[in-house]
Structure 1
């Protein structure tokens, strides 16, 4: 027997022995070390829900990049927003082998942390909860909305708009306030750099639903010279869009790229939920089934460094006349290196220099 044949036979025997020693259970265990990642919704309607769609896109992109099989990720739709209905789907996901559960939707409530705490061996990721504390097996994500708002305000002024408006939903909602105050700061920064006065009307309508009252107020703004309004409050953008269409004016969308809603939308101040999912799952250690300990049991804010806030840059979404992608890249650099600062405070109105804000 020659040496090559001997080495070949040794290799074959070693492989056979490995399979025999490991057995089917051990092989299956090694496969599960990659983890199983699932989404559990809050019981709301998922049709047209861009939040859920973005999270799903992020999970799928992560899975494809990691080469995970279809059985390694998925989504469970809760039958309703009740705690029992949501926990039922969580239990089902865990029974099916879920190691990481992403809780998606705005009908999860701070009391639902009690559900999460029941399953300490499973890791949970949530978005924008307001609990006072979080179990050690959970990470809650928030976003630096002021950065996205700043980008939108800066961009529209640099693009030539001089009469702006901000339409907010609930004046007590910290996210809405950060968006609005960021918009003010961005517009002021651009006006200061251009040494050009800019004006802004600012109003919280107290609602997240479209109404005749909101549209009438926007009609008045546009008729009196407002050129573009940042609509920040869910579906109230429908009232804003209708008023803009009636007055040949423009709108800034919020949270997701809303350019598909209307040609009046110039840009959107975005939270990039898909990128947030990818970022967090890349931090997850599937072998030991945990995130870094300094992140767990807490709420963390994702910002420019994580690539999770900003403006949409696809060709179809970029509707500026003169503000370029290079201009956008530069202001991001200025913020990242501290040349330009953006406050996240929701206490006290932002100080302005070249911007006149009329709070209504």
Structure 2
């Protein structure tokens, strides 16, 4: 945001839903345009991820000129930040929100794979299926997952050695981040309340049992680049974990799968309706083009013939006189 000298480098599954809403509000985006998305998002808050074309006032770095990029630096008063998270809870969150609760896109693409999780019936199902996913590492093998930022190492998004950050915050430091944003905005007299809706599409918190059986070590190995860049921030013994899940919690997670399947049905119906609308429009254009040039020109002349010449700009009259199509219409009427 050039006018606020603020840059946010988004990292998926690191409070990015709340932070993107915050940025959209600070930039003066029309927030209602996001909720009109017709995709398979699980809630209104998730529609902030529905497509970059809805952002009209928030430029992306790769679309800025080199001269503009050269000005972006803390030395020039810019506040540049990102937020990172321990890979254990981040992968757990990504797996749960995309696979366990059966997000429509991931259900369509991967439901036949042997590592795709069951609809959970008991706690053991969840632990076993996450373990299978981690050991299989499909995000390193399947092209669609290789390109999916939810499973990238965070250094790929953050690029800590390339961008001149004011600070890279840990997820546990969000309250400090918000204070720092307020302080930055206050310097230019632009401080305002931060819009920070809380979105959580993962019904089951991570437990210690989830990381047992070699899972913790396997994730550390898979995301070695993140641990090399930020590893001194994360201690597995200090992770925030739940004691366990009640059967009600498991049933609630299972309900999410049913709800997401219905969301997928509706999203598919909307896509089909849009496709049919596009076909209808194309057919109408085709039929319109089949009409004879004579009938089209005569119809257009009849439409405008009652408009006094004095009501038309002089340039338009002169241009029309030179237009061969106009002369042809006149000949048709004389015929």
TM exceeding 0.5: no
Q: State which structure, 1 or 2, has the greater radius of gyration over its C-alpha atoms.
A: 2
Normalized per residue, the structure richer in strand is: 1
By relative contact order (CA 8 Å, sep 6+), the higher-ranking structure is: 2
Normalized per residue, the structure richer in helix is: 2
How does the TM-score come out when normalised to structure 2? 0.27
